Every structure is written in C-alpha cells, then in structure tokens.
Chains A and B, each alone.
Chain A
Amino acid sequence: MNQSVSHKDTKTRKLFNYSALFVSVWQKRILLWFAPLSFLIIFFFLPLSRILLLTFDISTFTRENLWIAINVLGFTFYQATLSTLLTLLLGLPAAYFFARYEFRGKSLLRALTAVPFMLPTVVVAAGFNALLGPRGLLHNLFPLFSFPFIGTLTAILVAHVFYNTTIIIRVVGNALSSLDPKMEQAARSLGADLFRVWWNVILPLLRPSLFASSVLVFLFDFTSFGVILLLGASRFSTLEVEIYLRILKLPNLSLAALLSITQLICTLIFSILYARLVSRSTVQIAPRSAKTNIRKPKLFREKIFVAFFIFILSSFFFLPLSALPFRSLFRLEADRGQRGDVQPGFTTDYYKELFVNRRGSVFYVPPIQATLNSLGYASATVGLSLILGFPAATALARPTRLEKILDPLIMLPLGSSAVMLGLGFIISYGAWLTSPFLVPVAHTLVALPFVIRTLQPAIASIPQRLRQAASLLGASPFQVWKTIDLPILRRATLAAGTFAFTISLGEFGATLLISRPEYPTIPVAIERFLSQPGGLNYGQAMAMATILMTLTVLSILLIERFRLPNSGEF
C-alpha cells in the first residue's frame, strides 16, 4: 500500500509534543508511590508514632501497668502455645492424610477445612456458640451431654484449632507431597523400618515447612481477638483483648499504648522469623509432581485411618458451620418476655425481625441496616484499596532499590493488630470519629497488603515484551495499559477486589473501636445481639452470622475462580 499515507499519518500525529511523556524512571516511581505512601503515612505511621509517643511517656511505666502488661503477655503466650500444639496435633496427621491418600470427596473435604480460615471471627464464635453454647443445639437437644463451653479456655483453644488447622494441612501437606517417594524407598531398601524412615528421613526434610507453618499459626493465635472476646466471655485477656478493654471499658490509654507496642514488637519478631523460615523452606530438593505419592487406602489399617479422619475432620469442620444456619431457623427457647410454653420448631422469625425497627432492640434502626452499612463500607474499601493497590503493585512488580526498602513498610500493617489500628485512629483522629469514613480507611489498611500481594504477581507475569510489542504496533502508553494490562489483569483485579470485600465484611477489631453506634456493621451487630439476653436477640445473631457466612463463602468461591493459577499464597 501507499507508504506516503502512513508517512503523513505519522507527521500529523507528531504535532503533539510527546516528549512530555518521557518521564524519568524516578519520576515515574514517585508518581506511582505518591498515593499509597501518603495514605500509609497519614493513617498508619502517624497513628503508630502517636502510640509510641504515648508509650514512652513517663507516667506509662507505673508498677501497676507493668504488672498487668506482664500478666497479659504471659497468658497470651500461654494460650498461643497451647493452641499451636493442639493445631499441630490435629494438623499433622491431617496433612499426611491429605497428602498420601486418595478417596472420594477429598477435594470437598479439603475445601471444607479451608473455609474457617477466611471466615470472620464473629461467625466462628457464633457457630461454636450455636453448637455448644448455653443456648446452643447441644444444650437444648441433649441437655444430658451438655458441658460448660463459652467462657472456658477450651472454647478458645478449640476455635483456634478450628481456624488454623488448614495452614498446617496446606504448608506441611505441600511439602509432604512434593517429597520424592524414591527417598522413602531408598531408606527402606537400606534397612530402615517405617519409624526410622519417618524419624531420620521424612521429618528432617519436613522441618522447615513444619517450623514455618507453626510460627504462622502461633502468630495468628497470638493476635487473636474476636475468638477470645466472644468465646472467652471476658474471663480471659490476651494483649489484643486487654487493649480493647483499656480503651472502651476501663479507659487507660497509656496502658493500651504500652500493650500495643509490646504486641507489635512480638508480632514483628515472629513475622521476621516466619519470613526467614519460608525463604529456607522454599529451597526444595527437586520439586516434582504431587501425584506420585498419592494412593488409595489398601491395607485394613489404612482404611481405618482414612475413615477415622474423614469422620473427625468432617464433623469438626462441618458441625459448627452447619449449627449456625440451623439455629437461625429453629426456635429452641423462649424469646425475651415470652411466657408460657415455647413451641420449639422451624421459624423464619429471626430473619423477619431483621427488618423490624423494634424499640426494645439494641438499635433504633432495623438490624438489616447493619448489612447495608457493611456492604457500603466493603464497596468503599474495594474502591480505595484498588486505587491505592494498583500503583503500588505496579511499582513492586518491577522492583528497584526503592521498592526493596518500601516492600516491608507496605506490609507492616499486616503485623500490627486491628485493635491497635483502632487505637491509633482514636488517639490521632478522635475528632473525626463522628464521621463514618474512618471505617473503610481502617479496612483498607488491613486489606491493602492482600490486594497488593494479589495484583503484584499478576502484573509481574506480563512480560515487558508484550507492552513493547503493543507499543511498536502503534499503541500509546495509555492504550498499552488499556489493551494489554487491563484485560490480562481482569481476573487478578477481581480476586483482589473480592479479597478486600471479604476482609471488610468480616473485620471486627478495628470496627468495634471506631464505628459509630448508629452505623454498626454485621460483625458489630452480631456481637451486640450475642451479648443481649433473650431468644430473639440470640436468633437474630444467628441469622446475621448466617448471612455473613454466606456472603463470605460466596466471595471465597469467587476468589478461587479468579485467582491466577500459580500466583502463590500470601
């Protein structure tokens, strides 16, 4: 064709001054980092520094404060250690069970064990409450077998195991299934019996993943908040719960600050330990397909083992989750103020009540309003965390020296607890607490690391050559972004957005501290309903928890569908 025409094209297009688009690498980086960094400085580092200032006030270090801090720290360690050991006790055989045996419904059971990890703590607490609590199924249906559960250490430990077993199953199970079966065979052929094979070969090879997953579980148990507040019935105080109490119930902000910093230091140490262990455990010896190790149970004892674990795992993970919707649909006791015989049976009253603006209720707005608030906050969180997450993830996808410094800073909010974020907001921006906009800001702080970690590998997976090829075919920088980056990143963006959505829906600690009483979220509403007497309030708590659980499970399914294969876990 006529080359002259295309020449003319280029000439007319050259009338624009495109040299303005040639910004230096550094200018580009500053542009990318400006919004996310400003956000973090204003809403994380500034409040953090206020907490620090408060901590190093002379009046903080009174004998009484220190005594409380040491006691609380001791109990926090105690329950976290016990929880971790119990989690290992269930998780290790379960990991072996999943890594080695093939049976029908395996992927379903595996997915079931992973569900609690993403569930909001209020849902898990409500679930155990519905199953084993004083108004729960066991107590109402089989009073003879009922035992005190809520307000015991057992409740806390069981809930922690329920939450974190999936970590052991995933991390250790992956390591186990990637072990070369030839190593086991070689050991056997060299004369080692089954015990020696485990003790001398398999366990040493699993050690890094074992340590890494244990530290991670410990970290989650250490900072647990909702479980201890709701299932411990204020009888137990970990650092996180004590901070909350010292802000709202027995106000002592300097003690709260001291406890926050103590907790931050501890979590940082564990996080660093975890990062070290992970980097070591990723040095795999000849990674291989996971298939070769898996077999169907053949021997009698294998069949017994598999059947036993199917039973244990499915009942442990299914019962609390199913008790919740069940309890929300069945009346088992008198509503408040109701007299005479209660007709136990199926009811949709608890759901209907959600739409009623009842004077005696905890709010003077219909409880369903909490759901709308939650959805609103969640949408705002999705928007804000994507707007801030995209430029940060873009910069981190092609790291320079600058990003090596910024990366851990960006991830730091992960190491700080939700209650601490709330405390920071109260100290720094107390005057703004009357407006509802701080809630999505706090949720974004929690969600941002996850959003960035989801987007970053996807952005990095786009070869630079694709963009260059597009550019040479005539695409301007904006067109490159629109036609190459955006379509390829659509799935990752959806996954990241759903992540932010789920986190916002379930966030409890920070919301409890900073949300306005008239703008409750679902978790806050559940907590208030649970702490009120009467069957109606209890039933509504169950109904709301069921709604939240359904929303969360739907989101998890979406994330699983949108996630890039091989994009790794966080």
Chain B
Amino acid sequence: MLEVGNMFKSYEGKPLLKDISFQVGAGETVCLLGASGSGKSTLLRIIAGLESADSGQVLFNGVDLANTPPHLRDFGLVFQDYALFPHLNVCDNVAFGLKMRRMNQDEIDWRVANSLEMVSLTGFEKRQVTDLSGGEQQRVALARALAPRPRLLMFDEPLGALDRTLREDLLNELRTILHRTEIPAIYVTHDQEEAFAIADRLLILNYGMIVREGYPADVWSNPGTAFVAKFLGLGNIIEGKRISKSSVETILGTFTVDCEHQHQNGDKVHILVRPLEVQNEANVIGGVVTDVNFQQQRFRVTLDKGLYFYLNQSPKIGEKVTVKVKVECLT
C-alpha cells in the first residue's frame, strides 16, 4: 500500500528527517512514536502532500505521488487541534469531503449518518462545532476523515489535547473503528502507552531517524538500544562495561547477562533492569528504601541509587531490601 522511501528533509539548514523508509500494509495501523522535534509530524505532512521532501518518494500502490496535490491523494488526516470548520455545523463538517467528491445527496446523508454513528455522535448533526467539548470535537474530526473512506488515514497526535480517561475511551473506539473499516493508518504520537495500545506495528523516531521498528510485543521485550528502553520507560537503565560475554560490571556490582551478540569485552554497554521482581533469577540488587508510592495493588519503591521497582509488599523507608531481577543487555 503506502511506501515511503529514502526520505530526507531539512528545515533552515537543520536536518529534520534522515533517510526514512517504511511501509504500511493493507489494513495495518503503523504508529510513529517519537519525542517532540523528532520529525514525526513533518513526515506525516509530507505524506499528506502539505510539504515537500528534499528527496525520497511516497508511493501508494506503486504510484509515485510527487505530482499529486493533497486534495487528490484521497488521504484522511486528523489534526491534533481537530481543525473543524467553525462556520459549518457537525453535519456539514462531516459532509465536506463528500461534497468535494460531488456525491449525490442521498449518498452524502447516508454516509454522514453512518460516520456519526461510528463515533457515537448520532443526533449531533445540527450542533455547532464550537459548542462541542474537546472529546466531541475530536469525534467529529474523526467522522469527517472517515466519511469519504480515504485510502489511508493519518492521525497527528489526535488525543494530545484530551484528558486521560477520555483519551483511553477514544483510543479503544478508534482501534475498533480502524479494524472494522480496514483502512490502513499512520498514527503519530509521543505517548508510548497510546502507541502500544493502537499500533499493529511501531516505528520509533529519534532526531529524524527510525531507531527501532517492530511489532509492539517484540519492541517491548527486546528494545535493543538504551534510547528506546528509556523512551518507552521499560525500567532502570544502568551504564556498565562488558567484562565477558555473559557478565557486565557496573557501579552497582557485576551482573550476569547475555551480551554475546553485540559487543566486545571492554565495551561500554547499558543494561536494562526491569522493575519487577522475578523469581529464580541469579541477579540481585540491594539498597535502602528512600520512597514508597502506592500504585494500584502494588508499591513503587525507590532505592537510594535511584532505581525503582514495583513490589507487592510495602517496605518501610530506610529499610534495606534486596530484589531479584531480570537483566538485559542494551547497546
């Protein structure tokens, strides 16, 4: 379906995108995850045709889109601030793309009703968009993008302006809708929870480069680099030195870990210590408790060296504890 190849883009002399290549398959939701400034929004705008790349191509079903203006690409984009047309009501906003495609009125009515039903806004047709709440506005924006049944849907931090519970609800609905309609989608966000919740496949961007690509479960269990592990908040990351293919020396002691593949002895490496206690592990970390924080059936325990763990029982502050942990090797 969509293919992005060797995309470069710089802005005012600073490189923004460096050799980006990826694909989106039929019915697939690909999530671009990156901090602000990582170039993910720019990438989306290039795909939409709103900006042009310095080099590289955007192909859809093998057709180069370089000379196709945005209004003929048949892509849908949902903006972070919704970009609803303030002079049109809900119905006319949703019908906009259909009217531009010169559909007949019956078809328009049917599709508007259908799209509004999909986002649970039936009955809102005649409301002014300026009178809606943030969540409702985002639903209208989604319905508007869905109504013309675009070949590809793009989401630019669509839930960024909403509060947490609303975000979770909308995210679930969105995933259902995307699976039901089977429209391929690109979803841009900086929020890793959102990304894991929605993505069929993840692309992690850092300073304009794709640093990790894969299925969410794979990325989670095997982040690969310290950057990705830190960005995804997978656990404690400790710098150390490889002293053999199965042990790394750190300021917290020497850990037994499989570092066979990536490194030479003496290399600087990072290890990831997941914050969960794992039975039958040889590696043990000990320390004095400095903070205990109750979090839904478990306790977030911070030790004196800055490490944190989720434990089932609450130790006292000042107490000395030891935790059995799983350790992984990162680059």
Contact = CB atoms under 8 A, between A and B. Distances in A.
Interface stretch (A71-79, A471-479, A500-508): A471-479
A115 B4 CA distance: 62
Contacts of B144: 469, 473
Given A472-B77, A474-B100, A479-B100, A10 B83 contact: no
B79 A488 contact: no
Given A468-B50, A473-B96, A10 B87 contact: no
Contacts of A484: 85
B105 interface: no
B76 A3 contact: no
A479 B96 CA distance: 11
Interface of A: 1, 3, 6-7, 9-10, 13-14, 18-19, 21-22, 463, 465-466, 468-477, 479-480, 483-484, 487-488
B71 interface: yes
Helix, strand, loop or mixed for chain A's interface? helix
B68 interface: yes
Interface of B: 48-50, 61, 67-77, 79, 81, 83, 85-87, 96-97, 100-101, 144-145, 148-149, 151
Contacts of B151: 3, 6-7
Leading 6 A-B pairs by shortest Cβ distance: A473-B97, A474-B100, A465-B83, A469-B83, A471-B70, A471-B71
Contacts of A470: 71, 85, 96, 100
B72 A472 contact: no
B87 A468 contact: no
Nearest to A468: B50
A51 to B, nearest CB: 44
Nearest to B86: A488
B280 to A, nearest CB: 52
28 contacts: A6-B151, A7-B151, A9-B74, A10-B68, A10-B73, A10-B74, A14-B72, A18-B72, A465-B83, A468-B79, A470-B96, A471-B50, A471-B69, A471-B70, A472-B70, A472-B75, A472-B77, A473-B76, A474-B74, A474-B97, A474-B101, A479-B71, A479-B100, A480-B71, A483-B96, A484-B85, A487-B87, A488-B87
B124 to A, nearest CB: 19
Given A465-B83, A469-B83, A475 B71 contact: yes
Contacts of B81: 463, 465
A13 B83 contact: no
Contacts of A1: 149
Contacts, number: 91
B131 to A, nearest CB: 17
B96 A6 contact: no
Given A9-B101, A470-B71, A472-B75, 20 more contacts: A7-B61, A9-B74, A10-B74, A14-B72, A18-B69, A21-B69, A465-B83, A468-B77, A469-B83, A470-B85, A470-B96, A471-B71, A472-B50, A472-B70, A472-B76, A473-B71, A473-B97, A476-B71, A477-B71, A479-B71
A479 to B, nearest CB: 6
Contacts of B69: 18, 21-22, 471, 476-477
Contacts of A3: 149, 151
Contact of B148 (A21, A469, A473): A473
A494 to B, nearest CB: 14
Contacts of A476: 69, 71
B64 to A, nearest CB: 11
Among A14, A22, A473, chain B packs the most CB atoms within 10 A around the CB of A473
Contact of A466 (B70, B71, B73, B85): B85
Contacts of B97: 473-474
Contacts of B71: 470-477, 479-480
A17 B27 CA distance: 31
